[in-house]
Amino acid sequence: MPRYELNQNIKLADHIIGNNHPVYIIAEMSANHLQDYDRAVEIIHAAKDAGVDAIKLQTYTADTITIDSDKSYFQITGGTIWDGTTLHKLYEEAYTPWEWQPKLCEVANSLGLDCFSSPFDDTAVSFMEEMNMPAYKIASYEITDIPLIRNCASKKKPMIIATGVARESDIRLAIEACLEEGNKDIILLKCTSAYPTPYEDVNLNMIPTLAQEYGCIMGLSDHTMGSGVAVASVALGARMIEKHLTLKRSDGGPDGAFSMEPKEFEELVKNVRMVEKALGSKEYKLTPVQETEREGARSLFVVEDIKQGEALTPANIRSIRPGNGLPPVEYDKVIGKVATRDLFRGDPLKYEDFQ
């Protein structure tokens, strides 16, 4: 039995997220605006053209997410694409100006896209409430911030929680914080906090494991290159996909190297929709097309003329295509029987043809 009883159909703006509904696809803008408002608007239009459901922002400033310090704790090391700078300097470059965000939401909404964000402190939560954003995305590194999660959950909107650096205990504490606020609209995103993520570190098989363990809707926050991993996640039960979108990777920026370009994102959406159709039903039954095509399956036919009273033998009865005669499973039963009338080569064998 799942550990929790969470909602299996979650309303996010005008969408329903659940197993019998389309995969919800999010384009993450992150820092790809490169501090250019017009570029941010262009990214939103590119997301719309690609066919996504939502554009996602990040709501922080360098001073709300960290402090300006050169101490070793705040230096970025370890082989990341951001090595050599500090957290504060990175976030100064990457943040989305708050004065843009209401206007960006208006642009997105006018195009029929949902727009929401990841808050990184309580001031961001209050700001998102002022904009009436329809969901809260908890970034992977914030999954341990239970007071922040509790504050978001108290707004009674869907909680989308990335698990990239989470231990199992972190996931449990995060879910329980939401439940204590009376919020059962929880979506967990399988995530690997590596940028870009090596394919061997993705572990997509955790998607059904986490769904079964926690009784939640699952999705994927994907930082791999290309669309293959995201598309494959749908076959394993992901009902939400988040990928970074930029105009051109060569434009640079903190997240540009592992972001998708518009045409690539369009291909991702197309392939996700194709896989959704291909997954079909869990019930084993033939489609109308398969029922028609079944007529081409093998069956028992007369392959040499047989006179009335002659025996049916392997020489004059064979299992061949198409399927108009008796099923091949009857072959051993009919061999040795006697023809009740003259049979001719190419006749499908019927029960009344022998005794």
User: Is the CB of residue 238 less than 8 Å from the CB of residue 22?
Assistant: no
Q: How far apart are CA 69 and CA 73, in angstroms?
A: 8
- Give the rounded percent of residues in the chain with a pLDDT score beyond 70: 100
248 alpha-carbon distance from chain centroid: 24
Q: How far apart are CA 206 and CA 219, in angstroms?
A: 11
Q: Token digits for 299?
A: 């069956």
Tens of pLDDT along 102-154?
999 999 999 999 999 999 999 999 999 999 999 999 999 999 999 999 999 99
φ, ψ dihedrals at 309, nearest 5°: 90, -10
pLDDT reading at 1 higher than 90:
no
Give the pLDDT band (50/70/90) at residue 249.
Answer: very high
Residues facing residue 176 across a β-bridge: none
Give the pLDDT band (50/70/90) at residue 79.
Answer: confident
Output the pLDDT for position 147: 98
Tens of pLDDT along 34-66?
999 999 999 999 999 999 999 999 999 999 999
Q: How far apart are CA 76 and CA 125, in angstroms?
A: 27
Whether this prediction's pTM lies above 0.85 is answered by yes
- Domains of the chain (ranges, CATH numbers): 9-60+95-279 (3.20.20.70), 288-353 (3.90.1210.10)
pLDDT reading at 287 higher than 90:
no
Tens of pLDDT along 82-108?
999 999 999 999 999 999 999 999 999
Averaged over 241-251, what is the pLDDT? 98
Tally of CB atoms within 10 A around 79: 6
Tens of pLDDT along 162-218?
999 999 999 999 999 999 999 999 999 999 999 999 999 999 999 999 999 999 999
- Residue corresponding to tokens 């919800």: 24
What is the enclosing helix (H) or strand (E) of 168?
A: helix 168-180
CA distances from 276 to 206, 265, 270, 350 (A): 20, 17, 10, 42
User: Is the CB of residue 178 less than 8 Å from the CB of residue 186?
Assistant: yes
CA distances from 30 to 27, 169, 179, 256 (A): 9, 28, 29, 10
Closest C-alpha to 160, from 262, 258, 271, 238:
238
